Amino acid sequence: MAAPKYQAPRGTFDVLPESARVRGRIERTAAEIFSRAGYEPIATPNFEDTALFERGVGHSTDIVRKEMFTFEDKGGRSLTLRPEGTAPICRAYVEHGMQQLAQPVKLSYHGPFFRHERPQAGRYRQFHQLGIEAIGTESPLADAEVIELLAELLAELGVPGVELRLGSLGSLETRQAYLEELKAHLRAHEDELAKEVRERIEINPLRAFDSDDAGTQAVMATAPKLVERLEGDDAEHFAEVRALLDAAGVEYTIDPTLVRGLDYYTRTIFSFVCDRLGAQSEIGGGGRYDGLVEQLGGRPTPAVGWAAGIERIMLALDEEVAADGRDVFIAVAEDDQAKRRLAMVLVGELRKAGLSAELDLAGRALKGQLKQADRIGARRVLILDDEGAQLRDMASGEQRQVDTGKLVDEITGGEA
Ligand code: AMP
């Protein structure tokens, strides 16, 4: 019987070297921007207690209701592959007493996340996010700073066609009062709504703004908007965030229908969309979550942050990053033990000196080795033959005899 052929699970993908190079550029650019702004890396486990997400992300959200990969471990505990990064980071903030540190605590992260969604372009079941959080500050400066950093990241990466949409949900109280008003509006137009929306008037009325259904959209066009209900401190906070973004030269449009699929947001919410992405047009987004840390057992702690999808950035960039090439490829003219051993020693010396070097691992004839050197973009080939060692410059074709005892100096001109 033929052995079965295995494939990566539905909605997941293998990161092959070509794509890993693009990811590498994105992650390095982000790491530099985060570090210059003082956002320190944090890493939390890939799975957590299921209750953390139920409580943190919210029972009524699609993520918790439909999309979590939840399983029981051998001890009977319910665990969930993390669908998002903010609840785990707030858990870590509380667990490690980070409220004792100077506030805000500014953190950055990147890694895999898991949602059982219907796979399509830009939407996967295992995907990767990078993001930042500023925990322990209510200042609109923090909102503006995190937004500016995402704008800067997308600009520095060269992501085309990006637009920032900005909204505010107000405080929990404003939002609650508004939600009652919105539910009343939806109930008054129940017959015109899509079934999905009708069934969720009580649990998640805000999602009605996201509906594709024409009837629902008509009802939502006349619905009260939360940004028009902001009062007092909430209105002032939102105005200040806008003024700061204006001062920083970050362009945005106010979107009164903006909602996010997680329950924890308060006040500022934002979304960066890209016109190259089709249906899954959001490249990154986030907002303020002033109630979450307390919800997870900490002291009341205002916070703000965002996450961006690495695959969405890659789709928008649609680029290739060339491989680095190699400084030296070591070839042996005849396959004898002494030359193989010398090649092994020399390749080690070159690498220790900080040069990139490879040798033939496939037992190729000399011609095949030279071809391989060309394939990997080697700038020089060192050929070990009966005369000693010849160093060939691949661009010019020039070749000269070298002393293998001083190989590093021969190559770097003594500068290594
Ligand atoms: P969220 O955590 O839902 O606010 O999503 C933040 C970002 O993660 C989005 O803007 C997307 O770029 C990315 N993202 C979310 N879900 C997926 C998914 N299933 N596949 C790929 N990227 C995703």
What are the tens digits of pLDDT across the range 303-357?
A: 999 999 999 999 999 999 999 999 999 999 987 899 999 999 999 999 999 999 9
> In the chain, where does the domain assigned CATH 3.40.50.800 lie?
328-412
Cβ–ligand 1 distance for 308 under 6 Å, the answer yes
Residue minimizing CA distance to atom 18 of ligand 1: 123
Measured distance CA(225)–CA(47) in Å, rounded: 37
Query: Mean per-residue pLDDT for 170-181?
Result: 85
- Output the pLDDT for position 149: 98
> CA gyration radius for the chain?
28
What is the pLDDT of the chain when averaged over all its residues? 94
Which residue of 268, 277, 282, 283 sits with most ligand 1 atoms within 8 Å of its CB, as the best mutation to test the pocket? 282
Cβ–ligand 1 distance for 127 under 6 Å, the answer yes
Measured distance CA(232)–CA(189) in Å, rounded: 31
- Output the pLDDT for position 415: 59
Residue minimizing CA distance to atom 3 of ligand 1: 261
Residue 194 buriedness (CB in 10 A; 0-12 / 13-18 / 19+): middle
- Output the pLDDT for position 172: 76
Residue minimizing CA distance to atom 10 of ligand 1: 284
Which residue of 10, 64, 113 sits with most ligand 1 atoms within 8 Å of its CB, as the best mutation to test the pocket? 113
CATH top-level class of 328-412:
alpha beta
Cβ–ligand 1 distance for 163 under 6 Å, the answer no
Which residues, other chains included, contact 296 with Cβ-Cβ below 8 Å and sequence gap of 6+?
52, 55, 56, 87, 90, 91, 94
Percentage of the chain beyond pLDDT 90 is: 83
What pLDDT band is residue 391 in, cutting at 50, 70 and 90? very high
- Output the pLDDT for position 211: 87
- Output the pLDDT for position 266: 87
CATH top-level class of 17-170+230-317:
alpha beta
Higher pLDDT, 28 or 416: 28
- Output the pLDDT for position 171: 80
> In the chain, where does the domain assigned CATH 3.30.930.10 lie?
17-170+230-317
Q: For 26-30, 52-56, 409-413, which range has the lowest pLDDT when averaged over its residues?
A: 409-413
Q: Full-prediction pTM beyond 0.85?
A: yes
- Output the pLDDT for position 261: 65
